[in-house]
Amino acid sequence: VNVGFEQDGTGGEFSRPVLVLKGFNRSVCLVVPLTTSTKDNLYNIPIGEIDGKNASVIISQIRLIDTKRLYKHIGTLDKITFQKIKNTIKKMF
């Protein structure tokens, strides 16, 4: 998914992995981009290894996207880490 200029991806499609937080309908979902950059702050939460690299979610870059922009399923996050991410987002708002 190309999620915007703040966190552009790489390659010809400028794709970037995202964590899908919630699907609202068949057309729209709420996502958080992933990064391999490790920063120790409230807005970057480590989620483990994705495609052989340690990854974190970038909570500050949360956004709604069209589901047509999703094209490849990478994996499923464990429930404990997913809940930690959701709790952090709730604290922000």
pLDDT one-digit tens code per residue, 8-52: 555 556 688 999 999 999 999 999 999 998 788 888 999 999 888
C-alpha–C-alpha distance, residues 91 and 41, integer Å: 14
* CA separation, residue 84 to residues 11, 30, 50 (Å): 31, 16, 18
- CB-based burial label for 82 (10 Å; 0-12, 13-18, 19+): middle
Q: What is the CATH number of the domain that holds 9?
A: 2.30.30.110
On whether the CB atoms of residues 42 and 33 are closer than 8 A, the answer is: no
Query: The pTM is what?
Result: 0.81
- CB-based burial label for 88 (10 Å; 0-12, 13-18, 19+): middle
Domain that holds residue 77: 5-92
**Number of separate domains in the chain:** 1
Q: Token pair for residue 18?
A: 């995202």
